[in-house]
Amino acid sequence: MNLRVIDSMTGDMHELLSADQICPTTDNLEDMQIAYPSEFLNTLRFSRIPNHKLELKVGTLIILLRNLNLQRGLCNGTRLIITQITHLVNEGTIITGSHVGEKAFIERIDMNPIDITSWPF
């Protein structure tokens, strides 16, 4: 449904891709890369984790799915209209909450583990 709406909008489509790969600190990295190549990782779908490919146009309405900066009004459920799209940062105007009309910058989120010993699983 989302792609139908975006296709009906004017403007250039921007395709933003994730960078799925095995963590380089993994034991047996070469074996893991053979067993789980990037092409396979890109096909995986999990709830609460964005898909590999995100297609956007300027003017697209988006909803944040995680808290990014509560003081700036960037929390789960905040709606924004995309005003500029780049490879690493997207700019949007907040249209809900107490920060309506303010510009916000949403950076690409790097989800690489730094200290995996502190993870609870």
Q: Of 51-65, 79-93, 102-116, which gets the smallest average pLDDT?
A: 102-116
More confident residue, 50 or 82: 82
Q: What is the pTM for the complete model shown?
A: 0.69
Range of the domain at 24: 2-112
- Contact assessment for residue 61 and residue 78, using Cβ atoms and an 8 Å cutoff: no
Q: Rounded mean pLDDT of the chain?
A: 82
- Has residue 68 got a pLDDT over 60? yes
First to last CA, the chain: 35
Long-range pairs for 65-71 at CB < 8 Å and ≥24 separation?
68/106
Where would I find the H helices in 1-121? 2-8, 29-35, 38-41
- Judge whether 42 lies within some domain: yes
Please tell me the predicted confidence (pLDDT) of residue 48. Answer: 67
3-state secondary structure of 98: helix
Please tell me the predicted confidence (pLDDT) of residue 115. Answer: 55
- Judge whether 118 lies within some domain: no
- Judge whether 50 lies within some domain: yes
- Judge whether 117 lies within some domain: no
pLDDT digits (tens, 9 = 90+) for 19-47: 767 777 777 878 887 888 888 878 888 77
- Has residue 86 got a pLDDT over 80? yes
- Judge whether 38 lies within some domain: yes
- Judge whether 31 lies within some domain: yes
The tally of domains found in the chain comes to: 1
Q: How confident is the model at residue 75 (pLDDT cuts 50, 70, 90)?
A: very high
Beta-carbon count within 10 A of 75 CB = 15
Beta-carbon count within 10 A of 43 CB = 9
- Judge whether 119 lies within some domain: no
- Judge whether 95 lies within some domain: yes
